[in-house]
Amino acid sequence: MSDQSFLVHGPRVAVRRVSFQDRKEIAALDQESAALHRPWIPARETTPDAFREYVAKFDRPAHKGFVVCLRAGGAIVGGVNINNIVRGGIQSGALGYVAYASTTGHGYMTEGLRLVVAYAFTALGLHRLEANIQPGNTASIRLVERLGFRREGYSPRFQYIDGAWRDHERWAITAEAAGHAAADGSA
């Protein structure tokens, strides 16, 4: 993947939109990471049809899908989605993110998620991002704490994952808290 397709980059990683061409690489990463991902996120199908439908979702204005890649070589080391984007006077979106078994624990997601947050508050004009995280998901809570998210509340039985309705903590950050100018809420 050429450098031109990257939207933003930091010292070690760069962020670009996910595309259908990423299917095989992501399928292999998902497969090696089943134990890391369960029960924190819903299982994702990576058959050609399912993945085509998955990436087609990101053609809609309410959803954005990104991959976090190593600047050296371009390998995918993580993924970040912004879902359920609401415009007008709310300007908010809900984050989903993953690392993989072979890429976790190196700080790539801290750098990559920070880049996506900055991109959301500048290029996308959002004002607030939330992350709904199960209380036992300490790696995810540590990640958003490092980026300055605050715990806003607790949502019992928030999302159906891996066969059960799971309680989630609601963590969020505003543009101002992340050091960006606030959008004007009129988009």
Ligand X SMILES: CC(C)(COP(=O)(O)OP(=O)(O)OC[C@H]1O[C@@H](n2cnc3c(N)ncnc32)[C@H](O)[C@@H]1OP(=O)(O)O)[C@@H](O)C(=O)NCCC(=O)NCCS
List residues near ligand X by CB under 6 A: 36-37, 40-41, 97-99, 104-110, 131, 133, 137, 139-140, 142-143
Backbone angles phi, psi at 41, to 5 degrees: -135, 155
Measure the CA–CA gap between 99 and 129, rounded to whole angstroms: 19
Identity of the residue, 112 or 127, whose beta carbon is nearer to ligand X in the bound complex? 112
Q: Min. distance of Cβ 113 from ligand X in angstroms? A: 7
| DSSP H or E stretch at residue 110 | helix 108-121
Is the CA virtual torsion 94, 153, 162, 110 positive or negative? positive
Measure the CA–CA gap between 116 and 149, rounded to whole angstroms: 14
Q: Min. distance of Cβ 97 from ligand X in angstroms? A: 5
Q: Min. distance of Cβ 103 from ligand X in angstroms? A: 7
Identity of the residue, 41 or 85, whose beta carbon is nearer to ligand X in the bound complex? 41
Identity of the residue, 12 or 87, whose beta carbon is nearer to ligand X in the bound complex? 12
